[in-house]
Chain A
């Protein structure tokens, strides 16, 4: 790490008002600690309880998404596999932003993009109906939570979810997903 690299990081974190950022292995114990840190640090900043709960819930869904579904995996000493990714919580003026970034297989680009778009296009009532119908149904083979996470994040967000998928190499693409919570959220 050179001075320039470190200082650039410092400047970027200041400019984008980054409250928390983590890039690495999203093992369950690590994400639990990060979740606690978010609760404690926002709790000290007179953030409304409803806002903090939403940020925490969205943070957990995004982190567990990385843990289970990131295409980049790391093994720990016990042989447990956890996903690798990036998660950033930032202060965007009138709202908070929780963003995640991780690799996905090129084979999943269409499916994941489609799921994100379907949730973005849905009305509040549609989202509620989708959530409750999926929760009643069988778990899809590729999912641990019946694909509920994305719908739940969309319901908790005060603005539409944003996503972008760009090619990374011949095997993988980089997937970004962001959720925004208004500081005055009810």
Chain B
């Protein structure tokens, strides 16, 4: 059964919030675990279940400040899943937050956006 997920951030993993009623997913912090696939697996599973069972609008907020390359691959996999959901439902909104002067995270967001065809907003914050 689908349940809300609320994980606090650690030094190497982001905070994860996945709320069913609100249709909200948030991934915030830094991501460089030893095994990214293992860390992100529950997130893939939650998304698959939400898409299959809830079929409702989903807002996904990324607020990352650093991620390693194996996390980057997992983020792409998440975005691919969201893209597939968007293609059949048009019910996905992705917001990519980056600190105002963080060129790295702006560029990362821009490059993810280039690979996608759905609402993907780049949002600067202070």
Which residues in A have some Cβ–Cβ distance to B below 8 Å?
28, 32, 36, 49-50, 53, 56-57, 60-61, 64, 67, 128, 131-132, 135-136, 139, 144-146, 148-149, 151-152, 186
Contacts and interface: CB of A to CB of B under 8 A. Distances in A.
Interface stretch (B28-36, B55-63, B85-93): B28-36
Contact of A148 (B33, B37, B73): B73
B76 A144 contact: no
Interface stretch (B1-9, B40-48, B64-72): B64-72
A58 to B, nearest CB: 11
B66 A32 contact: no
A146 B73 contact: yes
Contact of A132 (B11, B37, B115): B115
B22 interface: no
A105 to B, nearest CB: 21
A145 B111 CA distance: 17
23 contacts: A32-B12, A36-B11, A50-B104, A53-B66, A57-B66, A60-B32, A61-B69, A64-B34, A64-B68, A128-B111, A132-B115, A135-B73, A136-B80, A136-B115, A144-B35, A144-B36, A144-B37, A144-B70, A145-B36, A145-B68, A145-B70, A149-B69, A151-B69
Chain B, interface SS category:
helix
Contacts of B80: 136
Given A28-B12, A32-B11, A64 B76 contact: no
Contacts of B70: 64, 144-146, 148-149
A139 B73 contact: yes
A37 to B, nearest CB: 13
Contacts of B35: 144
Given A32-B12, A60-B32, A67-B34, A132 B114 contact: yes
Given A132-B115, A144-B37, 9 more contacts: A28-B12, A49-B101, A53-B66, A57-B66, A60-B32, A132-B114, A135-B73, A149-B69, A152-B72
Nearest to B74: A145
A19 to B, nearest CB: 20
Nearest to A35: B32
B103 interface: yes
A34 to B, nearest CB: 12
Nearest to A144: B70
Task: Give 4 nearest A-B pairs by CB, closest first.
Answer: A145-B70, A148-B69, A28-B34, A145-B69
